[in-house]
Amino acid sequence: MPRNDRLLVPMIPRQVNGIRDGRTVDEDGIENHPDLMDPDWQRHAEKEAWVGFRQDRRRAHRRKWVTMSAVVVVVVAGAGVGLYLWGRSGVEQSTGEAGPDAVAAVSTSVATTTTAPTDLPDYAHVDLTRPFDNTPAQNWTAGIAGLTVAPATKVGAFSAAQVKQAEDQVKQAITAAQFDPDTLDGHHPDKYVALLAPDDKGNVQTDPGGYVTYLADGLHLLPVPPRMTGTMTAKPRKAGELVLHTSYVVAYAFDPGTRVIYGPGDLEPFVRVEADYVVRSGSSWRSGSRGLWVEQMNRYLTGIACRKDHLLAPAFTSEDYTAASLSPEPGRFDPAKPVPTGDNCND
């Protein structure tokens, strides 16, 4: 139902033809009931009504999820490369404080070791110096260090050194896409695009928002690095191709400024990504095709404000409380689970 800002004060059950202190209380005179006239009771009733209104409102606006995907199919015959795009869709937003340098400067250890919740709580105390407490990201690591990568070993025809080099390229790409302030705040995908093979650069430049995170204009992250959890694995495909599969979640904490917030879900969007990067090398590939490619990328956003520009913004900026409910899926916060599908943003 549409947002309703009117305050509805709950009424106590009416007492019809009752007796109180020797006085008759009829239905028509209930507004003069001594209990209703009591200032303390009125303040209590108003407070309870406001809490109920906030709960109803937040139940709707917290359920903002959107999914998008980007797929590139590459066909190579001799010196020719055919590119086919499907479902490349823009994503998120503009404004952050922590880039790779800031992330590197912050200890990646997490003091909180208690079991983290599996969902964003409706109501919880938020310490803006430790905003990820009481969220699924509570025990995650700051920045790209949260991505678990097994020690590089020989994979197919790729040596351990080549695999390590490919993994480092992908880590640089994810860092540029998810943590770099030039990308987040400046909406400049240059660092990400620079890491790609020449023949793939144009694909990403056509719609960079499908691959990197842009924060909404006018908003800023708290001076706390985004947190991450996930994995990267390497496997060979055909000659000269190494596939690096990544599955991860990044949590961002926005500065609410003077806005009233009721829990971490108001200011912390989660970006779930599953992507295949491919490194191509060797004489079977033309020079422009050698290097790093983004072959497939699926993104799922939780705890966002729905926006037509698809920039990443937290729920506290949302003016739309009409989103239909979706069944919560564990893959929203757990990269070991399948990426959820579904979209309850109406734009």
The pLDDT assigned to 34 comes to 58
Shared domain for 47 and 111, answered yes or no, is: no
Shared domain for 36 and 180, answered yes or no, is: no
Shared domain for 112 and 245, answered yes or no, is: yes
The pLDDT assigned to 83 comes to 23
In a domain, 192, yes or no: yes
Q: Which of residues 16, 36, 61 is at a domain's end?
A: 61
In a domain, 346, yes or no: no
List Cα–Cα distances, 95 to 7, 81, 212, 231, in angstroms: 34, 37, 13, 26
What's the CA angle centered on 336, arms 330 and 341, to 5 degrees? 50
Shared domain for 53 and 82, answered yes or no, is: no
The pLDDT assigned to 199 comes to 96
| Euclidean distance between CA atoms 193 and 27, whole angstroms | 73
In a domain, 343, yes or no: no
Shared domain for 274 and 163, answered yes or no, is: yes
Of the candidates 7, 6, 49, 14, the residue with the CA atom closest to the CA atom of residue 30: 14
Shared domain for 204 and 224, answered yes or no, is: yes
Q: Which residue blocks in the chain are alpha helix, DSSP H? A: 34-37, 39-61, 100-105, 160-178, 181-184, 190-194, 198-206
In a domain, 174, yes or no: yes
Of the candidates 271, 225, 226, the residue with the CA atom closest to the CA atom of residue 248: 271
List Cα–Cα distances, 209 to 6, 70, 193, 251, 316, in angstroms: 38, 10, 12, 17, 22
Shared domain for 56 and 185, answered yes or no, is: no
The pLDDT assigned to 25 comes to 39
Shared domain for 126 and 173, answered yes or no, is: yes
In a domain, 104, yes or no: yes
Instruction: Check: CB of residue 117 under 8 Å from CB of residue 134.
Output: yes
| Euclidean distance between CA atoms 318 and 227, whole angstroms | 23
Q: Which of residues 17, 36, 61 is at a domain's end?
A: 61
| Euclidean distance between CA atoms 336 and 79, whole angstroms | 38
The pLDDT assigned to 308 comes to 84
Shared domain for 72 and 38, answered yes or no, is: no
The pLDDT assigned to 307 comes to 86
| Euclidean distance between CA atoms 127 and 298, whole angstroms | 32
The pLDDT assigned to 336 comes to 96
The pLDDT assigned to 299 comes to 94
Is 13 exposed, middle or buried, given 0-12, 13-18 or 19+ CB atoms closer than 10 A? exposed
What is the count of structural domains for the chain? 2
The pLDDT assigned to 344 comes to 79
Shared domain for 201 and 305, answered yes or no, is: yes
Over its length of 347 residues, how does the chain's per-residue pLDDT go in tens digits? 222 222 222 332 333 333 333 444 344 454 455 555 565 545 444 433 333 333 333 333 333 455 555 554 443 333 222 222 222 333 333 333 344 343 333 444 455 568 998 988 768 899 999 999 999 999 999 999 999 999 999 999 999 999 999 999 999 999 999 999 999 999 999 999 999 999 999 999 999 999 999 999 999 999 999 999 999 999 999 889 999 999 999 999 999 999 999 999 999 999 999 999 999 999 999 999 999 999 999 999 999 998 888 899 999 998 755 566 677 888 999 999 999 888 878 65
Q: How is the chain split among helix, strand and coil, in percent rounded to 5?
A: 25, 25, 50
The pLDDT assigned to 239 comes to 86
The pLDDT assigned to 328 comes to 81
φ and ψ of 68, to 5 deg: -150, 160
| Euclidean distance between CA atoms 313 and 306, whole angstroms | 8
Q: Which of residues 61, 79, 99 is at a domain's end?
A: 61
In a domain, 323, yes or no: yes
By residue range, what is the domain housing residue 184?
65-332
Neighbours of 234 (CB within 10 A): 23
Shared domain for 87 and 155, answered yes or no, is: yes
Shared domain for 3 and 125, answered yes or no, is: no
DSSP class of residue 114 equals S
Instruction: Check: CB of residue 317 under 8 Å from CB of residue 284.
Output: no
